[in-house]
Amino acid sequence: MSRAAARRVPTTDRPLRIGCGAGYSGDRIEPAVELVEQGDLDYLVFECLAERTIAIAQQAKARDPNAGFDPRLRERMEAVLAGCHARGVTIITNMGAANPHAAAACVRDVGVQAGLTNLTIAIVTGDDVLAMMTGGEYRSLETGEMFVPGSIVSANVYLGAEPIVEALLHGVDVVITGRVADPSLFVAPIVATYGWTLDDWRRLGIATSAGHLLECAGQVTGGYFADPGVKDVPGLERLGFPIAEISPDGGVVITKVSGSGGLVTTATCTEQLLYEVHDPAAYLTPDVSADFSQVSMTTMGADRVRVSGASGRARPATLKVSVGQFDGWIGEGQISYAGPGAVARARLAANVVAKRLELIGVSCSDIRYDLIGIDALHGAARSTSSSDPYEVRLRVAARTPSEADAWRVAREVEALYTNGPAGGGGATATVRQVLAMRSTLVPRGDVSWRVDYEAIP
Amino acid sequence: MMLREIAHGRTGDKGDTCNISVIARDPRDYPRLVRDVTAARVCAFFAGIVEGDVVRYELPQLGALNFVMTRALGGGVTRSVALDAHGKSLSSALMGMEIGDSITGERQDP
């Protein structure tokens, strides 16, 4: 039996405690270690799969069959696996990306290196529907056009909590998945712990509210929040990551490790509750159509907020597929100007680049000439400063059909060093291939998932 | 006065759709938000950035409004040529929106 299977049963006095150890693939490492050591957790979730990450991982897997999972998986597991194993904390993560089996092998290796025994890893697959998408006719929700099979790099359906629940009921120490809806990573341990059914929409709505609040880690504990003098946050340099306490009756409290940086208030929780939400009464996941429209927040003490009133209705009949497609290239160049006349020289530089691209016949669309410090983020209309800034940075970015044209855009900016206005410094030229993510819907019945297990005896 | 004086908010992104929450610092100011920060005003404020519709959802028990703006992220986070492709900075822009100091002083912008 795995260590985690021997876990204590949560009670109203000591509710289920789930921590979030990462809100994106590049997130800090130490807050998760702090959660393991001081969080008194039952589960630790790492959410590391952005929209585009899996398409990039799919390309990595095509080059190397042992690659295609999160590049920082080993580093994260080396930081937390032994501590979680010793304390009976189960890890759930989507760091499997395009290759959950290879990711599980990596976790197993970390366990062996650390001398761990009696460790079971569950591997959830079935989200990769590339073969299905290339073999059928599907329409993009965004463009309304049919996908051209040859252009598709990746296609992953958002799985829900169900396969993870199955893995947890089997009694495992680590669950590795590919694409799973972010809140479902948290819904699963709540459902598995309390034996809630997967058609108990109200309770699934409650669990989804907790998962949604936690999925971006530090964004609910004071990250993406501070505004000096208006919304001050202490200790951002050692921001604590969140813990959700879930009682048997469905009560949810958001908190963090005492003494860590950041803060948990009704304000941080309200901002995060609405983050990436459209209609608050219908937040769709594979598990439920969650209803946050009646949610309220109550301060229960320092860095403790109770979240109540979430509910839900029947889950959607279809599942969403995230489709990665090549969509041309982006060439970008930047160069800075300073001192008296800086803005005029930057504008002249932009003008020179525009004329050069016409002269040499570069094919591009969506070209932007931004003056960073003046109008780069929101355009000139909202930029109301009357005096020129001391320094300004020109940014030229354009979408091109070919890599060669992307480089020609970028290099025209760099060439301003010797051919452009006076005093241009710090030029950069970059090119990237665009992996555009689009989506489509498929019937649930077309998708089948499975759970495999791997163990260190 | 600026919206920032009585509210705070956060931007989220999904594809080419952006949502911005506007939350009253003091719940007693929520009615002012409802009155002054209309979908039409937000749409006008983001002219040139938001090419689609603006829909407003009201959450009185949180003292919050949620604005959902379509065709707002230059074709979508993954393909936009914008510097801030996610539109993360848009909530800060909105916090600079002028709102009426009082009912009588309110400007009747679109």
H/E segment holding residue B22: strand B17-24
Cα–Cα nearest to A244, from A253, A236, A235: A253
CB contacts of B68 in chain A (<8 Å) are 278-279
Grade residue A52 by pLDDT with cuts at 50, 70 and 90.
Answer: confident
CB distance A325 to A151 below 8 Å: yes
Neighbouring-strand partners of residue A298: A306
CA distance A151 to chain B (A): 15
Mean pLDDT for A264-277 is 98
B-chain residue closest to A231, CA distance = B8
Per-residue pLDDT tens digits for A120-174:
999 999 999 999 998 889 999 988 999 987 889 999 999 999 999 999 999 999 9
Which residue, among B2, B3, B10, would best test binding to A if mutated, counting the most A CBs under 10 Å from its CB?
B10
| pLDDT in the model for residue A6 | 54
Q: What's residue B103's pLDDT?
A: 47
* Structural element, H or E, at residue A272: helix A266-273
User: β-pairing, A425-443 with B17-24?
Assistant: unpaired
CB of B62 within 8 Å of any CB in chain A?
A: yes
Answer whether B10 sits within 8 Å of A267, measured CB to CB: no
User: How do beta strands A119-125 and A90-93 pair?
Assistant: unpaired
Confidence of residue A11 (pLDDT cuts 50, 70, 90): confident
Provide the residue count of chain B. 110
**Could you give the ipTM of this predicted complex?**
0.94
Would you mind telling me the total number of residues written for chain A in this entry? 457
Concatenate the DSSP letters of all residues of A96-129 into one string. Answer: TTT-HHHHHHHHHHHHHHTT--SEEEEEEE--B-
Cα distance between residue A74 and residue A176, in whole Å: 13
pLDDT above 90: residue A382 = no
Residue A292 confidence (pLDDT): 98
Among A44, A20, A55, A27, CA closest to A127:
A55
By DSSP bridging, strand A16-22 and strand A43-46 are: parallel
Distance from CA of B78 to the nearest CA of A (A): 5
* Dist. CA B68–CA B54, nearest whole Å: 6
Cα separation, A52 vs A310, in Å, equals 30
How far CA B29 is from CA of A49, B3, B34, B36, B100, in Å, comes to: 38, 11, 9, 11, 12
